[in-house]
Amino acid sequence: MAIVLTGAMMEFPARWIDPIRAFVQTSEPIWVDPHVPDLGAVRVAVAWNPVPGRLRQFPNLEAVLCPGAGVDGILGDRDLPDVPIARTIDPGLILQMSQYILWATLDWVRQGDIYRHQQRSHHWQMLPLVDPRAVVVGILGLGVLGQDAATRLRAAGFTVRGWSRTPKSLAGVKCFAGADGLPELLRGCQVLVCLLPLTPETTGILNADTFAMLPQGAYVINVGRGAHLVEVDLQRAIAQGQIGGACLDVCATEPLPPDAPLWDCPNVTITPHAAALTSPAAIATHLDQLLSCLETNTPIPHLINRDRGY
Ligand code: NDP
Ligand code: OXD
């Protein structure tokens, strides 16, 4: 049996290969695509945005492990072999993501941008302060990441709402579900966070209609996937004052091209898909666990549902 690390962005697994080898317990050979001496020996692929059709070329593949939380890069392959797909749930990544969302929310609420600007012009002026309890933060996606972020935002004093496909109950968080629940969540949300997986249903969900349902001047934080956001709609909504600003960790095209208008859009903060990253130790642990499940024919944890798309 062998393991292959495969991805369209070759430097991605290459950056991880040594740390993963350092942490993993298995004695199976770990090959980095495209250096695969025997396609038939590969039983497990650790795949991040694999080249479409590549996984199909391993005839004895038994499972795929996504080294991240979002599996859209794998499910985008129309020629995927019919094997279980598991994802990595990393407590460190969960914390990083919640911290990012807290940082972006707090910076907006505490008007960090204006104060930094004032400092640059040596200008001393106190701005109005708001009671955090009066700030409503809505989170689209109440999964592993959304629930942690919601709980921590709540602990920071905000009024928190969450939205999911199926109904949820989370202490101190007003939960909404399904298409009917979305307008209800949006109404009155001063900060909207997108932590959804990218599926046909969620593509383009951050659009002009959504923005129109938010109160004027609301702030948008997109940490899901770039394709959740209709970028021109955001630019227009900011120009019109409907949206006050945005913090975007993900973009439809990554890296964001140097001449993209989004770079210079007022009140937009852009980070290079850097909100959170799975640690090699977590990938190695999940890989060992997956191999042991295959060995003992026991259920693989953190499987995704291909029909659902996440
Ligand atoms: P989960 O699969 O644990 O949770 C997904 C949540 O989205 C669930 O609550 C689910 O509802 C909800 N959801 C899915 N489809 C819909 C829909 N059509 N309508 C309403 N709600 C929906 O995902 P994670 O929390 O682990 O991760 C979320 C995403 O975050 C990832 O898919 C990835 O795209 C992104 N991410 C970004 C990173 C970054 O660095 N920017 C890092 C890691 C992840 P239900 O509970 O009912 O199933
Ligand atoms: C992920 C990511 O999905 O880093 O894990 O985007």
pLDDT in the model for residue 70: 97
CB of 254 within 6 A of ligand 1: the answer is: no
Residue 206 is given by DSSP the state B
Distance from Cα 39 to the centre of ligand 1, integer Å: 33
Cα–Cα distance between 208 and 125 in angstroms, integer?
A: 34
pLDDT in the model for residue 17: 82
Largest CA distance in the chain: 68
Cβ count near 157 (within 10 Å): 13
123-to-2, 109, 116, 166, 224 alpha-carbon distances in Å? 62, 20, 10, 49, 37
Tokens read off for 76: 């985008």
Instruction: Assess whether pLDDT exceeds 60 at residue 10.
Output: no
pLDDT in the model for residue 9: 61
CB of 69 within 6 A of ligand 2: the answer is: yes
Instruction: Assess whether pLDDT exceeds 70 at residue 7.
Output: yes
> Active-site positions?
225, 273
Residue 12: which of 44, 55, 49, 37 has the closest Cα? Answer: 49
Q: Under a CB-based contact definition with an 8 Å cutoff, are residues 230 and 222 in contact?
A: no
Q: Which of 15, 93, 304 best tests ligand 2's pocket when mutated (most atoms within 8 Å of CB)?
A: 93
pLDDT in the model for residue 259: 98
268 phi and psi angles, rounded to 5 deg: -110, 125
Residue range 254-276: average pLDDT?
Answer: 97
Confidence of residue 8 (pLDDT cuts 50, 70, 90): confident
Tokens read off for 41: 């020996």
Least-confidence region, from 7-21, 85-99, 186-200, 245-259: 7-21
- Give 112-152 pLDDT, tens digit per residue: 999 999 999 999 999 999 999 999 999 999 999 999 999 99
Instruction: Assess whether pLDDT exceeds 90 at residue 11.
Output: no
pLDDT in the model for residue 15: 77
CB of 162 within 6 A of ligand 2: the answer is: no
Tokens read off for 126: 């106190």
List the alpha helices (DSSP H) in the chain.
Answer: 11-23, 72-75, 91-109, 112-120, 144-155, 178-186, 208-213, 231-239, 280-296
pLDDT in the model for residue 16: 81
Distance from Cα 140 to the centre of ligand 1, integer Å: 8
CB of 222 within 6 A of ligand 2: the answer is: no
Cα–Cα distance between 185 and 172 in angstroms, integer?
A: 15
Q: Under a CB-based contact definition with an 8 Å cutoff, are residues 213 and 187 in contact?
A: yes
CA 21 vs. chain centroid, Å, equals: 25
Instruction: Assess whether pLDDT exceeds 80 at residue 97.
Output: yes
DSSP H or E stretch at residue 192: strand 191-194
Q: Under a CB-based contact definition with an 8 Å cutoff, are residues 78 and 60 in contact?
A: no
Instruction: Assess whether pLDDT exceeds 90 at residue 94.
Output: yes
Confidence of residue 101 (pLDDT cuts 50, 70, 90): very high
SS3 270: strand
For residue 255, whether the previous peptide bond is cis, meaning omega lies within 30 degrees of 0, is yes
The mean predicted confidence, pLDDT, of the chain is 96
Residue range 156-160: average pLDDT?
Answer: 98
Residue 224: which of 201, 253, 203 has the closest Cα? Answer: 203
Distance from Cα 147 to the centre of ligand 1, integer Å: 10
